[in-house]
Amino acid sequence: MYSRDLLAGLNDPSRFARIARLHTSAFMWQTQGRIPLGIHVADPKHAAGLYYRDWLNPVPFLEYQVKVLADTLAVGSDLLPVVAINHLGDAVLTSMFGAELFMPENCSATLQEIGPTPMPMFSNIEEAVAHKMPAMDAGIMPDVDRIVSY
């Protein structure tokens, strides 16, 4: 597991409160000294060797996300500190409807990365219209629930 000491050294509640005020003022169109600049640092080396099955396993998933969080805090980004669920938003929905997912072979943790990708499952609109609403525990939803709970 990634060192708690690394994150503890980057924990600055007063800085986070200032950043929250910057964001709130910006969203309320209030004049202020500057707008928040959020830089999400996702070093591709942290994702090296991670395969799609690893993204559904809480331990390597959280280890990766903590490294990204630590790097993001270390550069002084104006993003509030959170651990993302990284690409699982769109992957969850498509998997619930029965789409098979895969991680592209040339995957990196950059803005160009598309993350877990659904394989096509419909060839015409009639197939989509005829498809039934999925259950809330369909697809990778149980895995995502386990990751978020972890």
Query: Domain limits of the chain?
Result: 4-149
Q: What is the pLDDT of residue 1?
A: 46
Q: CB of 75 within 8 A of CB of 62?
A: no
Q: What is the pLDDT of residue 40?
A: 85
Q: What is the pLDDT of residue 3?
A: 63
Q: What is the pLDDT of residue 119?
A: 81
What lies within 8 Å, CB to CB, of 102 at 6+ separation is: 52, 116, 117, 119
Q: What is the pLDDT of residue 74?
A: 92
Q: What is the pLDDT of residue 77?
A: 93
CA angle 11, 110, 45 (to 5 degrees): 70
DSSP structure string for 106-125: T--SSTT---SEEPP--SSH
Three-state SS letters, 13-36 = HHHHHHHHHHHHHHHCCCCCCCCC
* Intervals of the chain under pLDDT 50: 1, 109-111
Per-residue pLDDT tens digits for 81-95:
887 776 666 788 888
Q: What is the pLDDT of residue 111?
A: 47
What is the per-residue burial (b if ≥16 Cβ within 10 Å, else e) of 37-68? eeeebbeeebbeebeeeebbbeebbbebbbbb
Q: What is the pLDDT of residue 106?
A: 57
